[in-house]
Amino acid sequence: MYGFEAMTFNIHGGYLEAIVRGHRAGLLTAADYNNLCQCETLDDIKMHLSATEYGPYLQNEPSPLHTTTIVEKCTLKLVDEYKHMLCQATEPLSTFLEYITYGHMIDNVVLIVTGTLHERDVQELLEKCHPLGMFDSIATLAVAQNMRELYRLVLVDTPLAPYFSECITSEDLDDMNIEIMRNTLYKAYLEDFYKFCQKLGGATAEIMSDLLAFEADRRAVNITINSIGTELTRDDRRKLYSNFGLLYPYGHEELAVCEDIDQVRAAMEKYPPYQSIFSRLSYGESQMLDKAFYEEEVKRLCLAFEQQFHYGVFFAYMRLREQEIRNLMWISECVAQNQKSRVHDSVVFIF
């Protein structure tokens, strides 16, 4: 019953909530970002990060560093923390933690399938997969010719199996079908995660509903903008939107017929939480939209820590770390390309 988590949550979840709150304290601050933004080379970035929790992961990396190396090592830290929490978790927290990684699993499946279509070496593809999304039979994805085989040979034994019911066909895999498959899987995953959180109830359901609804709405906007000028029809576009969220269903109806960014703005400005996001952009501009959405997401994720005895803190922590890694990637790219004046275009401060 909602409101009584304080009595029982700590029995099974207290230790891990304390762990995740401790991890949260290790997130980079604005002062850290200011120092990083002033670095001249990637080795300077490595030196500044050596004083943070990323230090042990970067200390043995030889010069010259690459931006991808920094991102990989920082991701390894997140993976280690996640695995520690997962192995300590009991049900239903362990299932909740697994749900957080299904998005990466979908990305890895699509990466392997697309790379195989382009005749790339499977080993090369596996090295580029996100470690949080790995599963045992991932390498056998390369043998599938169509979605039915993909499902039958490999994915039937993975957590993604239930999400394939919407997109199993015998059509050969090609770029368009793979894109539709990616977005359909992700839609099914988000809806499933949402239902799971609703079943958990209490503060977890309340906080996760808000976070997942925002994720679904942001996906709808991104799908709309990315599909403008492509061959994706309005009906197909509408089918890729999730069946929940603030924009469901009337916002989706408007987004499905949008032909340019200004029409998207007009559709979104009817919803007060998104009006504030779009008010920061000038007309016809979409470059800063990503940053505006990330800032709103970070604000909501930080608010999740204001309440105790719920699983939303784990989801929020993982997402905040991913945002931090994105920030580090962007700063590294700007430093490597000698474009430090553009560093604040995409860095989102967490604290």
Partner 1 sequence: MVVDHETPSLENGQTDKEVEENANVLQFMDSMDAYLTLIHSLSSTLRRGWLELASARHSMGASRVNTVLLDHTSHPAATSLLVTQDEGKVDSGKPHFTLCKWASSSNENSLLGEKQSSQDKLHPQLRHRGSTELYEEKTSSENKASREVDDPVQKERSKSLSMFGTLVSPKLRAAQLSFEAALETLVEIANMRSEMLCAFDQVNMKLEGRKDEK
Q: Which parts of this chain interact with partner 1 (CB under 8 A)?
A: 68, 71, 107-108, 110-111, 114-115, 117-120, 124-125, 128-130, 165-169, 171, 175-180, 182-184, 222-223, 225-227, 229-236, 239, 257, 286-287, 290, 326, 329-330, 333-334, 337, 339, 342, 345-346
Min separation Cβ 128 and partner 1, Å: 5
Closer by beta carbon to partner 1, 230 or else 275:
230
DSSP secondary structure string, 209-232?
HHHHHHHHHHHHHHHHHHHTTSS-
In 3D, which of 33, 69, 41 has the Cα closest to residue 338?
41
Q: Alpha-carbon torsion 51, 53, 59, 62, what sign?
A: negative
Q: Alpha-carbon torsion 123, 125, 130, 134, what sign?
A: negative
Min separation Cβ 6 and partner 1, Å: 38
Closer by beta carbon to partner 1, 20 or else 268:
268
Distance of alpha carbon 224 from its chain centroid, rounded? Answer: 18
Min separation Cβ 64 and partner 1, Å: 17
Min separation Cβ 60 and partner 1, Å: 22
Distances (CA, A) of 319 to 100, 166, 300, 314, 316: 9, 27, 11, 9, 5
Contact 297, 319 (CB under 8 A): yes
Closer by beta carbon to partner 1, 108 or else 242:
108
Distance in angstroms (rounded) separating the CA atoms of residues 177 and 188: 16
Min separation Cβ 122 and partner 1, Å: 10
Distance in angstroms (rounded) separating the CA atoms of residues 129 and 147: 20
Closer by beta carbon to partner 1, 95 or else 222:
222
Closer by beta carbon to partner 1, 254 or else 333:
333
End-to-end CA, the chain: 33
Min separation Cβ 324 and partner 1, Å: 13
Closer by beta carbon to partner 1, 111 or else 208:
111
